[in-house]
């Protein structure tokens, strides 16, 4: 079978739609891989730390191969369009941040007001279409803009979260569901899951 999908198409396929947020994560991840490839010997494990849970993190997972399930993808919940990447065993990593105000600068002037209407569910069908048009245009701009115009790239010292660990599962005495042992608590001297304590 011929697999001719580009990395961007793979990201769109995984994410489910084309949007500016996905393009942000894509640009950050592509830049990180370009940099890490130069320094990486063989198949050392890449680790990603994302500071947002918005659309862009899907591109990061597809492009870097770091995933939530593999334990080399971490979410620091601070609400920033910032993405850090490193290689296990090396302290030097890179943090890539979307410059503040870039979206507004690149977008059509009406984009922000329209976005509020669309997300507030008050947009007419015509406004919806117009918004989709702007949304697509903005995505293209983010994909094609020189990186230094839209993102700040800085070397950083990586503080790696620990490797994924394996735990036994115990049965919650109250709901009868299995729960990772370290998450279980005792209630009436019986193991209880976080939902039942």
Interaction between residue 184 and Zn ion (CB under 5 A)? no
Tell me how far apart the alpha carbons of residues 177 and 164 are, in angstroms, rounded to a whole number.
22
Interaction between residue 174 and Zn ion (CB under 5 A)? yes
Question: Residue 9: left if φ>0, alpha if ψ -120 to 50, beta else—which one?
Answer: alpha
When binding is defined by CB under 5 A, the residue of 24, 36, 172, 184 that contacts Zn ion is: 172
Q: Within 36-95, which residues bind Zn ion (CB under 5 A)?
A: 55
- Shortest Cβ distance from residue 37 to Zn ion (Å)? 27
Cβ closer to Zn ion: 79 or 89?
Answer: 79
Tell me how far apart the alpha carbons of residues 182 and 169 are, in angstroms, rounded to a whole number.
9
Q: How many residues bind Zn ion (CB under 5 A)?
A: 9
Cβ closer to Zn ion: 80 or 185?
Answer: 185
When binding is defined by CB under 5 A, the residue of 113, 175, 186, 197 that contacts Zn ion is: 175
- Residues in Cβ contact with 169 at an 8 Å cutoff, skipping those fewer than 6 apart: 178, 179, 180, 181
Tokens 């507004």 correspond to what residue? 104
Question: Residue 79: left if φ>0, alpha if ψ -120 to 50, beta else—which one?
Answer: left
Cβ closer to Zn ion: 21 or 93?
Answer: 21
- Shortest Cβ distance from residue 175 to Zn ion (Å)? 3
Interaction between residue 151 and Zn ion (CB under 5 A)? no
Candidates 30-38, 93-101, 121-129, 188-196; binding stretch for Zn ion (CB under 5 A): 188-196
Q: Which of 93, 94, 84, 27 is nearest to 55 (CA)?
A: 27
Tell me how far apart the alpha carbons of residues 65 and 59 are, in angstroms, rounded to a whole number.
10
Specify whether the CB–CB gap between 196 and 177 falls below 8 A: no
Candidates 16-24, 39-47, 81-89, 93-101; binding stretch for Zn ion (CB under 5 A): 16-24
What does the binding site for Zn ion look like in residue numbers (CB under 5 A)?
19, 21-22, 55, 172, 174-175, 193, 196
């Amino acid at each position: 079978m011929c697999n001719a999908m580009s990395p961007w198409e793979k990201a769109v396929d995984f994410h489910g739609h084309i949007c500016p947020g996905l393009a942000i994560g894509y640009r950050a991840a592509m830049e990180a891989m370009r940099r890490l490839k130069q320094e990486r010997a063989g198949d050392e494990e890449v680790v990603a730390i994302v500071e947002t849970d918005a659309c862009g993190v899907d591109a990061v997972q597809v492009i870097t191969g770091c995933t939530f399930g593999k334990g080399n993808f971490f979410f620091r919940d601070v609400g920033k369009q910032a993405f850090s990447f490193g290689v296990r065993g090396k302290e030097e990593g890179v943090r890539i941040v979307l410059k503040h105000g870039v979206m507004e600068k690149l977008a059509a002037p009406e984009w922000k007001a329209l976005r509020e209407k669309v997300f507030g569910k008050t947009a007419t069908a015509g406004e919806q279409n117009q918004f989709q048009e702007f949304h697509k245009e903005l995505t293209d701009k983010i994909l094609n803009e020189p990186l230094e115009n839209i993102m700040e790239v800085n070397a950083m010292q990586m503080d790696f979260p620990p490797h994924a660990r394996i735990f036994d599962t115990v049965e919650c005495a109250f709901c009868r569901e299995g729960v990772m042992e370290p998450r279980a608590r005792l209630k009436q001297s019986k193991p209880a899951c976080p939902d039942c304590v």
